[in-house]
Structure 1
Amino acid sequence: MSELLRLTDVTRTVKLPDDSDLHILTGVDLTISNGDHVGIVGRSGTGKSTLLNLLGLLDRPTTGVLEWAGQDVRALSARAAARIRGRDVGFVFQQFNLLPGRTALENVAAPLMYAPGPQFWRRRTIAAEMLDRMGLGARLDSMPESLSGGEQQRVAIARALVRGPKVVLADEPTGALDLETGGEVMELLDGVTHDTGAALITITHDVNVAAMARQRFRLEGGRLQAGVSV
């Protein structure tokens, strides 16, 4: 397996209004390769969102080294980081963030508006195929408000996967779903990313969701600790 992300002693500190420092991450070590499924569990306020922003190249470490495919992200311009993020990173959130007034097909096809030629011209076909893979082949023309919560999350997953990302970051992907629907969504997400070879990183407060991953960590005290007990 090829290595996609490597974090070495990564810290993240922010300046508070009173000019004091808030140390959110204090020394994170993590390696992600293609095909990995990593579950990271932590309570609110432990830095889960901060870590997701770093992994998604939305932010940069205060100290330490974050490498994407062997390249130190500190050497990337903002434009280069955005290009990698748009092409190779898929995001799935607790809130589905679907475009109102757009069908399921249009929502999933939206990221392909910025894809290179063949993907751009075939965007509706590619989006329809991905929705069919999510079990929504009969709901292509449905508006978000007519879909159940589980269906909306599957549309959001299809949108995250439609460009064939190398890394999928799932931030509390089952937080807005009931237990049974959440389990079904996680199994689907795990199965599709496994089939495509993408790495899946699930960040959650739910130990049961994290325990579905093959590598499991707890974020506590600004550091990742191996293992999650259910």
Structure 2
Amino acid sequence: MSLVSQLSDVVTRIGTEFKAIRTERAAITGALASLATTDKSNLVAAINEVLSAVGSGGAIDADSITDATTVGKALIRAADAAAARTAIAAGTSNLALGTTSSTAKAGDYAPNAAAISDSTTTGRALVTAANAAAARTAIDVYSVAEANAAAAAAAAAVVDGAPGALDTLAELAAALGSDANYAASTSTALGNRLRVDGAQTLNGTQQTQGQDNLSVYSRAQIGDPTTDFVALFDAALI
């Protein structure tokens, strides 16, 4: 088997492994273009963006809610019903609020998250979250530990058991001589070698170098090996 064939087999094998890794990654993480992050260039960049957005996995406070108003933030921070009423400037009298007795609320009515008419499901989940983990679940983000674990798993999937000297793209590039056209360069180099399996056209310089390397005489130096020496001898006798 020629070197080109072996190298082609190696390239095909490496390509097959990369294809398997990409297919597995796509099945686990989906297409990078589908990321909701600003940076969609690679998974690590997207994870770092998520980490930055959630404040390194710390507790989410009222100021982290980008569309929360001053009143909304005061409600979120309210320690009790009285503080909540103060935030919305509500009194404690029994005067009816609203247009009818069926829709009016007493002055000391303490609303809950579900009573906020323009609140979304995500907003209510954030307001009622019992802890930071529940708040992260509400907005579907990772904690620091979860993000680090996901990044480690992604890196392990890319490496996929490769030896230490060849487990990065830089090391693979160095192993190939940083030649983007490695296969073509190798094929061209092989084309300049002396063939033993077929005809080959060599210029004078190449022929001379080949003869020197093989330590043989040229055809001109040896002469015609089909020369009929018997006929020459016979001719000399006449």
Both structures adopt the same fold (TM-score exceeding 0.5): no
Question: Whose RCO is larger (CA < 8 A, sep 6+)?
Answer: 1
Question: More strand per residue: 1 or 2?
Answer: 1
Question: More helix per residue: 1 or 2?
Answer: 2
Q: Structure 1-normalised TM-score? A: 0.19
Q: Structure 2-normalised TM-score? A: 0.19
Larger radius of gyration between Structure 1 and Structure 2: 2
